[in-house]
Protein backbone atom coordinates (compact mmCIF):
# COMPACT_ATOMS: atom_id res chain seq x y z
CA UNK A 1 0.00 0.00 0.00
CA UNK A 2 1.26 3.47 -0.88
CA UNK A 3 0.58 6.79 0.82
CA UNK A 4 -1.76 7.62 -2.08
CA UNK A 5 -3.91 4.60 -1.28
CA UNK A 6 -4.46 6.00 2.22
CA UNK A 7 -5.34 9.52 1.05
CA UNK A 8 -9.07 10.21 0.77
CA UNK A 9 -9.52 10.85 -3.00
CA UNK A 10 -12.33 13.34 -2.27
CA UNK A 11 -10.04 15.64 -0.29
CA UNK A 12 -7.06 17.85 -1.12
CA UNK A 13 -6.95 20.22 1.85
CA UNK A 14 -4.01 20.51 4.27
CA UNK A 15 -4.80 21.73 7.78
CA UNK A 16 -1.89 22.96 9.87
CA UNK A 17 -2.07 23.08 13.65
CA UNK A 18 0.46 24.83 15.83
CA UNK A 19 1.46 28.07 17.47
CA UNK A 20 0.05 31.32 16.07
CA UNK A 21 3.10 33.55 16.30
CA UNK A 22 4.52 36.76 14.92
CA UNK A 23 8.09 36.41 13.60
CA UNK A 24 10.57 39.09 14.62
CA UNK A 25 13.56 38.84 12.29
CA UNK A 26 16.98 40.34 12.94
CA UNK A 27 20.62 39.95 11.90
CA UNK A 28 23.11 38.94 14.60
CA UNK A 29 26.59 37.45 14.93
CA UNK A 30 27.83 34.56 17.05
CA UNK A 31 29.13 36.93 19.70
CA UNK A 32 25.66 38.45 20.10
CA UNK A 33 24.10 34.98 20.45
CA UNK A 34 26.57 34.17 23.21
CA UNK A 35 25.90 37.50 24.90
CA UNK A 36 22.15 36.92 25.09
CA UNK A 37 22.34 33.18 25.79
CA UNK A 38 20.80 31.92 22.55
CA UNK A 39 21.41 28.32 21.40
CA UNK A 40 22.80 28.55 17.89
CA UNK A 41 20.47 26.79 15.45
CA UNK A 42 18.06 25.97 18.26
CA UNK A 43 14.98 27.34 19.98
CA UNK A 44 14.61 28.51 23.58
CA UNK A 45 11.33 29.36 25.30
CA UNK A 46 11.46 32.71 27.08
CA UNK A 47 9.04 35.26 28.46
CA UNK A 48 8.08 38.41 26.58
CA UNK A 49 10.48 40.55 28.62
CA UNK A 50 13.51 38.58 27.40
CA UNK A 51 12.55 39.20 23.77
CA UNK A 52 11.97 42.90 24.44
CA UNK A 53 15.32 43.21 26.25
CA UNK A 54 17.15 41.37 23.46
CA UNK A 55 15.62 43.64 20.81
CA UNK A 56 16.77 46.67 22.83
CA UNK A 57 20.36 45.41 22.55
CA UNK A 58 20.21 45.19 18.76
CA UNK A 59 21.75 47.94 16.61
CA UNK A 60 18.85 48.00 14.12
CA UNK A 61 15.09 47.54 14.38
CA UNK A 62 13.96 44.02 13.37
CA UNK A 63 11.35 43.07 10.78
CA UNK A 64 7.97 41.77 12.04
CA UNK A 65 5.84 39.31 9.99
CA UNK A 66 3.25 36.61 10.78
CA UNK A 67 4.79 33.18 11.35
CA UNK A 68 4.88 29.90 13.23
CA UNK A 69 6.04 26.64 11.64
CA UNK A 70 2.74 24.99 10.70
CA UNK A 71 1.30 28.38 9.77
CA UNK A 72 4.20 29.03 7.38
CA UNK A 73 3.52 25.68 5.72
CA UNK A 74 -0.19 26.22 5.13
CA UNK A 75 0.39 29.81 3.95
CA UNK A 76 2.77 28.37 1.36
CA UNK A 77 0.11 25.90 0.26
CA UNK A 78 -2.38 28.75 -0.03
CA UNK A 79 0.05 30.72 -2.17
CA UNK A 80 0.50 27.69 -4.43
CA UNK A 81 -3.25 27.75 -5.04
CA UNK A 82 -4.05 24.86 -2.72
CA UNK A 83 -6.72 24.42 -0.08
CA UNK A 84 -5.33 25.23 3.35
CA UNK A 85 -6.51 25.85 6.90
CA UNK A 86 -4.72 26.86 10.09
CA UNK A 87 -5.84 25.97 13.63
CA UNK A 88 -4.41 27.88 16.58
CA UNK A 89 -4.91 30.54 19.23
CA UNK A 90 -3.82 34.18 19.30
CA UNK A 91 -4.55 37.38 21.17
CA UNK A 92 -7.32 39.90 20.55
CA UNK A 93 -4.91 42.84 20.21
CA UNK A 94 -3.35 44.46 17.12
CA UNK A 95 -0.85 41.63 16.54
CA UNK A 96 -3.61 39.03 16.68
CA UNK A 97 -5.74 41.03 14.28
CA UNK A 98 -2.81 41.34 11.89
CA UNK A 99 -2.19 37.58 12.12
CA UNK A 100 -5.79 36.69 11.23
CA UNK A 101 -5.99 39.23 8.41
CA UNK A 102 -2.76 37.96 6.87
CA UNK A 103 -4.07 34.38 6.74
CA UNK A 104 -7.15 35.52 4.84
CA UNK A 105 -5.00 37.56 2.47
CA UNK A 106 -2.84 34.50 1.75
CA UNK A 107 -5.84 32.32 0.90
CA UNK A 108 -5.86 30.31 4.12
CA UNK A 109 -8.97 29.42 6.10
CA UNK A 110 -8.57 29.80 9.84
CA UNK A 111 -9.93 28.32 13.03
CA UNK A 112 -8.48 30.83 15.48
CA UNK A 113 -9.44 30.64 19.13
CA UNK A 114 -9.28 34.11 20.75
CA UNK A 115 -7.49 35.09 23.94
CA UNK A 116 -7.02 38.22 26.04
CA UNK A 117 -3.33 37.32 26.41
CA UNK A 118 -0.70 38.79 24.05
CA UNK A 119 -0.17 37.04 20.74
CA UNK A 120 2.93 34.85 20.78
CA UNK A 121 6.11 35.89 19.03
CA UNK A 122 9.47 34.46 17.95
CA UNK A 123 12.68 36.45 17.82
CA UNK A 124 14.69 34.81 15.03
CA UNK A 125 18.34 35.89 15.07
CA UNK A 126 20.04 35.17 11.75
CA UNK A 127 23.83 34.83 11.72
CA UNK A 128 26.05 35.44 8.66
CA UNK A 129 26.05 31.69 7.90
CA UNK A 130 22.23 31.96 7.46
CA UNK A 131 21.44 29.88 10.54
CA UNK A 132 18.63 31.12 12.75
CA UNK A 133 18.54 30.92 16.53
CA UNK A 134 15.21 31.56 18.19
CA UNK A 135 13.75 32.97 21.38
CA UNK A 136 10.08 32.00 21.58
CA UNK A 137 7.33 33.55 23.71
CA UNK A 138 4.22 31.46 23.17
CA UNK A 139 1.78 33.96 24.68
CA UNK A 140 -1.82 33.20 23.76
CA UNK A 141 -0.84 30.19 21.66
CA UNK A 142 0.14 28.32 24.83
CA UNK A 143 -3.45 28.60 26.07
CA UNK A 144 -4.88 26.31 23.38
CA UNK A 145 -6.86 23.63 25.23
CA UNK A 146 -7.26 19.95 24.36
CA UNK A 147 -11.06 20.22 24.37
CA UNK A 148 -10.87 22.87 21.62
CA UNK A 149 -9.25 20.38 19.23
CA UNK A 150 -12.29 18.58 17.86
CA UNK A 151 -12.81 16.66 14.63
CA UNK A 152 -14.66 19.71 13.27
CA UNK A 153 -11.34 21.62 13.23
CA UNK A 154 -10.02 19.11 10.70
CA UNK A 155 -13.14 18.57 8.61
CA UNK A 156 -12.38 17.80 4.95
CA UNK A 157 -8.61 17.69 5.55
CA UNK A 158 -6.65 15.15 3.54
CA UNK A 159 -3.61 15.78 5.75
CA UNK A 160 -3.27 17.38 9.17
CA UNK A 161 0.23 18.86 9.45
CA UNK A 162 1.52 19.21 13.02
CA UNK A 163 4.57 21.17 14.09
CA UNK A 164 6.81 19.32 16.52
CA UNK A 165 6.67 22.17 19.02
CA UNK A 166 3.33 20.75 20.15
CA UNK A 167 5.35 17.99 21.81
CA UNK A 168 5.90 20.46 24.65
CA UNK A 169 2.12 20.34 25.32
CA UNK A 170 1.48 16.63 25.46
CA UNK A 171 -2.21 16.72 26.31
CA UNK A 172 -2.85 19.13 23.45
CA UNK A 173 -0.88 17.00 21.00
CA UNK A 174 -2.78 13.89 22.06
CA UNK A 175 -6.09 15.70 21.46
CA UNK A 176 -4.94 16.87 18.01
CA UNK A 177 -3.88 13.45 16.74
CA UNK A 178 -7.06 11.81 18.04
CA UNK A 179 -9.27 14.48 16.45
CA UNK A 180 -7.36 14.30 13.17
CA UNK A 181 -7.82 10.54 13.03
CA UNK A 182 -11.52 10.92 13.86
CA UNK A 183 -11.84 13.38 10.98
CA UNK A 184 -10.34 10.82 8.58
CA UNK A 185 -7.13 12.71 7.84
CA UNK A 186 -3.58 11.46 7.49
CA UNK A 187 -1.10 12.97 9.94
CA UNK A 188 2.14 14.72 9.01
CA UNK A 189 4.61 15.57 11.79
CA UNK A 190 7.55 17.93 11.35
CA UNK A 191 10.03 17.34 14.17
CA UNK A 192 10.71 21.11 14.29
CA UNK A 193 13.98 21.35 16.28
CA UNK A 194 16.65 19.03 17.65
CA UNK A 195 16.10 20.23 21.22
CA UNK A 196 12.36 19.54 20.91
CA UNK A 197 13.16 15.97 19.86
CA UNK A 198 15.66 15.50 22.69
CA UNK A 199 13.15 16.61 25.31
CA UNK A 200 10.35 14.43 23.91
CA UNK A 201 12.29 11.19 23.40
CA UNK A 202 10.21 9.42 26.05
CA UNK A 203 6.93 9.79 24.13
CA UNK A 204 7.94 10.46 20.52
CA UNK A 205 8.45 6.86 19.30
CA UNK A 206 5.01 5.81 20.55
CA UNK A 207 3.26 8.83 19.03
CA UNK A 208 4.96 8.27 15.68
CA UNK A 209 4.19 4.54 15.61
CA UNK A 210 0.53 5.01 16.59
CA UNK A 211 -0.49 8.10 14.69
CA UNK A 212 2.00 9.51 12.18
CA UNK A 213 1.81 8.75 8.45
CA UNK A 214 4.36 11.32 7.20
CA UNK A 215 7.47 12.15 9.25
CA UNK A 216 9.69 15.12 8.33
CA UNK A 217 13.09 15.87 9.87
CA UNK A 218 16.33 17.68 9.13
CA UNK A 219 19.78 16.24 9.88
CA UNK A 220 19.99 17.51 13.47
CA UNK A 221 16.43 16.43 14.31
CA UNK A 222 16.98 13.03 12.74
CA UNK A 223 20.23 12.58 14.69
CA UNK A 224 18.51 13.51 17.96
CA UNK A 225 15.77 10.97 17.24
CA UNK A 226 17.78 8.07 15.79
CA UNK A 227 21.16 8.54 17.47
CA UNK A 228 23.05 8.44 14.17
CA UNK A 229 24.27 10.94 11.59
CA UNK A 230 24.58 8.32 8.88
CA UNK A 231 22.03 9.40 6.25
CA UNK A 232 20.96 5.96 5.12
CA UNK A 233 20.58 4.56 8.62
CA UNK A 234 18.79 7.68 9.92
CA UNK A 235 16.32 7.59 7.03
CA UNK A 236 15.73 3.87 7.54
CA UNK A 237 14.96 4.45 11.22
CA UNK A 238 12.71 7.44 10.49
CA UNK A 239 10.76 5.34 7.99
CA UNK A 240 10.41 2.28 10.22
CA UNK A 241 6.98 3.15 11.62
CA UNK A 242 5.52 5.53 9.02
CA UNK A 243 4.36 5.35 5.41
CA UNK A 244 6.61 8.16 4.21
CA UNK A 245 9.71 9.70 5.78
CA UNK A 246 11.64 12.81 4.76
CA UNK A 247 15.23 13.65 5.65
CA UNK A 248 16.30 17.17 4.69
CA UNK A 249 20.07 17.57 4.32
CA UNK A 250 20.42 21.31 3.77
CA UNK A 251 22.36 22.42 0.72
CA UNK A 252 22.68 18.77 -0.34
CA UNK A 253 18.93 18.47 -0.83
CA UNK A 254 16.53 15.94 0.65
CA UNK A 255 15.70 12.25 0.73
CA UNK A 256 12.26 10.64 0.77
CA UNK A 257 11.64 7.03 1.80
CA UNK A 258 8.38 5.47 0.64
CA UNK A 259 7.17 1.97 -0.22
CA UNK A 260 10.64 0.49 0.05
CA UNK A 261 12.25 3.07 -2.23
CA UNK A 262 14.43 6.11 -1.56
CA UNK A 263 14.21 9.21 -3.74
CA UNK A 264 16.89 11.91 -3.56
CA UNK A 265 16.18 15.52 -4.54
CA UNK A 266 18.95 18.01 -5.20
CA UNK A 267 18.74 21.45 -3.65
CA UNK A 268 17.91 24.27 -6.05
CA UNK A 269 20.23 27.15 -6.86
CA UNK A 270 23.87 27.43 -5.85
CA UNK A 271 23.32 26.59 -2.21
CA UNK A 272 23.84 30.17 -1.02
CA UNK A 273 21.24 31.39 1.48
CA UNK A 274 20.35 34.76 2.94
CA UNK A 275 18.32 33.27 5.80
CA UNK A 276 17.12 29.72 6.45
CA UNK A 277 14.05 30.83 8.44
CA UNK A 278 11.08 28.89 7.10
CA UNK A 279 13.15 26.71 4.76
CA UNK A 280 11.78 23.47 6.18
CA UNK A 281 8.28 24.89 6.51
CA UNK A 282 8.13 25.94 2.87
CA UNK A 283 9.73 22.67 1.75
CA UNK A 284 6.75 21.00 3.42
CA UNK A 285 4.40 23.41 1.60
CA UNK A 286 5.55 22.23 -1.80
CA UNK A 287 5.69 18.57 -0.86
CA UNK A 288 2.30 18.36 0.83
CA UNK A 289 0.63 20.45 -1.90
CA UNK A 290 1.87 18.00 -4.49
CA UNK A 291 0.94 14.99 -2.40
CA UNK A 292 -2.69 15.92 -1.68
CA UNK A 293 -3.13 16.81 -5.34
CA UNK A 294 -1.87 13.30 -6.14
CA UNK A 295 1.23 14.29 -8.05
CA UNK A 296 4.03 11.68 -8.27
CA UNK A 297 6.65 11.93 -5.53
CA UNK A 298 9.24 13.03 -8.08
CA UNK A 299 7.18 16.18 -8.69
CA UNK A 300 6.36 16.66 -4.99
CA UNK A 301 10.06 16.69 -4.15
CA UNK A 302 10.92 19.00 -7.04
CA UNK A 303 8.30 21.54 -5.95
CA UNK A 304 9.36 21.22 -2.31
CA UNK A 305 12.97 21.99 -3.26
CA UNK A 306 11.87 25.05 -5.25
CA UNK A 307 9.85 26.46 -2.34
CA UNK A 308 12.65 25.74 0.13
CA UNK A 309 15.20 27.47 -2.09
CA UNK A 310 13.09 30.56 -2.74
CA UNK A 311 12.42 31.27 0.94
CA UNK A 312 16.16 31.08 1.67
CA UNK A 313 16.74 34.01 -0.69
CA UNK A 314 14.92 36.48 1.61
CA UNK A 315 14.77 37.35 5.30
CA UNK A 316 11.90 35.54 6.97
CA UNK A 317 9.43 32.96 5.74
CA UNK A 318 7.56 35.06 3.16
CA UNK A 319 8.42 34.38 -0.48
CA UNK A 320 7.86 37.54 -2.59
CA UNK A 321 4.88 37.65 -4.94
CA UNK A 322 6.98 37.59 -8.11
CA UNK A 323 8.75 34.42 -7.01
CA UNK A 324 5.43 32.71 -6.23
CA UNK A 325 4.41 33.62 -9.76
CA UNK A 326 7.56 31.97 -11.10
CA UNK A 327 6.86 28.81 -9.10
CA UNK A 328 3.26 28.67 -10.32
CA UNK A 329 4.38 29.18 -13.92
CA UNK A 330 6.76 26.26 -13.50
CA UNK A 331 3.95 24.06 -12.19
CA UNK A 332 1.68 24.97 -15.08
CA UNK A 333 4.42 24.13 -17.57
CA UNK A 334 5.49 20.85 -15.93
CA UNK A 335 2.29 19.41 -14.52
CA UNK A 336 -0.31 18.26 -17.04
CA UNK A 337 -3.83 19.26 -16.15
CA UNK A 338 -5.29 15.93 -17.23
CA UNK A 339 -4.37 12.35 -16.59
CA UNK A 340 -3.63 10.56 -13.36
CA UNK A 341 -0.36 10.91 -11.50
CA UNK A 342 1.92 7.97 -10.92
CA UNK A 343 1.99 6.84 -7.33
CA UNK A 344 5.67 6.33 -6.75
Taking 90 as the threshold, does the pLDDT of residue 342 lie above it?
Answer: no
Q: Which tens digit of pLDDT belongs to each residue from 209-245?
A: 999 999 999 999 999 999 999 999 999 999 999 999 9
Q: Cα(10)–Cα(157) distance, rounded to whole angstroms? A: 10
Higher pLDDT: 272 or 312? It is 312
- Amino acid 235: pLDDT: 98
- Mean pLDDT across 47-76: 92
DSSP-H helix ranges across the chain: 3-6, 30-36, 48-56, 69-79, 94-105, 170-182, 194-199, 204-211, 219-226, 231-239, 279-292, 297-311, 321-334
Please say if the pLDDT value at position 170 is more than 90.
yes
Q: 26: pLDDT confidence band, cut at 50, 70 and 90? A: very high
The percentage of residues in the chain with a pLDDT greater than 90, rounded to a whole number, is 78
CATH number of 3-20+67-120+138-334: 3.40.1190.20
Q: How would DSSP label each residue in 240-273?
A: TTSSEEEEE-GGG-EEEEETTEEEEEPPSTTS--
**Which pLDDT score, from 0 to 100, does residue 341 have?**
45
Q: What is the pLDDT of residue 340?
A: 43
Task: Provide the residue ranges of all domains of the chain, joining segments of one domain with +.
Answer: 3-20+67-120+138-334
* pLDDT value of position 276: 77
Is residue 59 pLDDT above 70, yes or no?
A: yes
Amino acid sequence: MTIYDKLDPRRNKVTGVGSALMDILAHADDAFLERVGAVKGGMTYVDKAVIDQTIDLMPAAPQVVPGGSACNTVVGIGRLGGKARFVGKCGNGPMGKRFREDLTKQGVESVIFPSDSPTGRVLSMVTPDAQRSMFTFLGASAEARPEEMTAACFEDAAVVHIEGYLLFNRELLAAVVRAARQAGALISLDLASFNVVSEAKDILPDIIARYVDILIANEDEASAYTGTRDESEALRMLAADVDLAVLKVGARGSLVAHAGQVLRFAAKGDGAAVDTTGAGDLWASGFLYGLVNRRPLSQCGELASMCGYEVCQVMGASIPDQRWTAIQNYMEAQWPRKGSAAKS
